[in-house]
Amino acid sequence: MAAIPAHNGTMTQQIRAFWKWLAEPLAVIVLMFCATTAIAQPFYIPSGSMEPTLRIGDAMIASKYAYGYSTASLPVMLGPQNGARLLGRLPSRGDVVIFRHPHDPKIVLVKRVIGLPGDRIRMGGGHLVINGRTLPLTETGMGEVQDQDGGKTAIHAFRETLPNGVSHPVYKRHWDGLVDDTAEITVPQGHLFMMGDNRDNSLDSRVAVEDGGVGLVPVANLIGRAEFVVGSYDFLNMRGAASWLSLFRPSRFFQKIA
């Protein structure tokens, strides 16, 4: 009978040791992938289109289960884009949602749901009109918007009340801009009409995709519902180490998004 080389046992032990060493980080990666696909995922805000609800530099958590699942739900969009959703359900008007751009799914955006399938929507003199009803805007004072250079300017703040009774903040400076008077459109089945709360600084469903906007957003492109801000940092105004600590915004930490 041929003798078994002694080093085979050592090699087997080394292989087992290697897989044992590898198993823990692999399990963590798989768990994180599953969690960010099915439960929640962090995002950060790089622009001011949703001010004052979301500020530049906010870090937020989105629930992935709120509207069901599609390929858009994956952290890296994979698989067929056929519009199918598992456990799918529509958002409510007023929900702040995370979604993939209809023209380029690699781009992830956050806006507020304004129109559901079947809704007739237009802008008239800077006011939102849904199904023939002009929505009320109640002035609440002055707010502050931030540009991409970190500068801040004063702006008029309002509250807008949607047909389902949801009230949310709006910033508005002009009433005669390019998207302040638009033709009425009917939201088709399987789509949503999105808008930013910073109405004069948001390329949203008021602007067609071919004109650089978002256009109507397929429900299949939904990633999740924005739930709360976990932290906020005014990174645009970093001017050296001495300013770092002062740029945290503690008042925004763990703030519910509504």
DSSP string, 64-124: SSTT-B-GGGSSS--S--S---BT--PPPTT-EEEEE-SS-TT-EEEEEEEE-TT-EEEEE
pLDDT at residue 86, rounded to an integer: 73
Residue, of 77 and 240, whose pLDDT is higher? 240
User: Mean of the pLDDT values across residues 158-181?
Assistant: 96
pTM of the predicted protein model: 0.82
Reply yes or no on whether the pLDDT at 77 is more than 70. Answer: no
Asked whether residue 2 is assigned to any structural domain, the reply reads: no
Residue 49 designated active-site: yes
Reply yes or no on whether the pLDDT at 46 is more than 70. Answer: yes
Domain hosting 103: range is 12-256
Asked whether residue 1 is assigned to any structural domain, the reply reads: no
pLDDT at residue 11, rounded to an integer: 61
- pLDDT tens digits, residue range 185-215? 999 999 999 999 999 999 999 999 999 899 9
In whole numbers, what is the pLDDT of the chain averaged over residues? Answer: 85
Q: Which of 64, 70, 111, 232 is catalytic?
A: 111
pLDDT at residue 82, rounded to an integer: 55
How large is the greatest C-alpha to C-alpha distance in the chain, in angstroms?
Answer: 95
pLDDT at residue 2, rounded to an integer: 44
- pLDDT tens digits, residue range 124-152? 999 999 999 999 999 999 999 999 899 99
User: Can you say how many angstroms the Cα of residue 105 is from the centroid of all Cα atoms in its chain?
Assistant: 13
Residue 152 designated active-site: no
pLDDT at residue 9, rounded to an integer: 60
Q: Which of 47, 49, 73, 232 is catalytic?
A: 49
Residue, of 112 and 30, whose pLDDT is higher? 112
Residue 35 pLDDT class (50, 70, 90 cuts):
very low
At 146, which amino acid appears? Q
Residue 228 pLDDT class (50, 70, 90 cuts):
very high
Assign residue 116 the CATH number of its domain: 2.10.109.10
At 133, which amino acid appears? R
Residue 55 pLDDT class (50, 70, 90 cuts):
very high
User: Mean of the pLDDT values across residues 234-247?
Assistant: 89
Please state, for a pLDDT cut of 90, what percent of the chain lies above it: 66
Asked whether residue 171 is assigned to any structural domain, the reply reads: yes
Q: Structurally, how many domains does the chain consist of?
A: 1
Asked whether residue 7 is assigned to any structural domain, the reply reads: no
Asked whether residue 6 is assigned to any structural domain, the reply reads: no
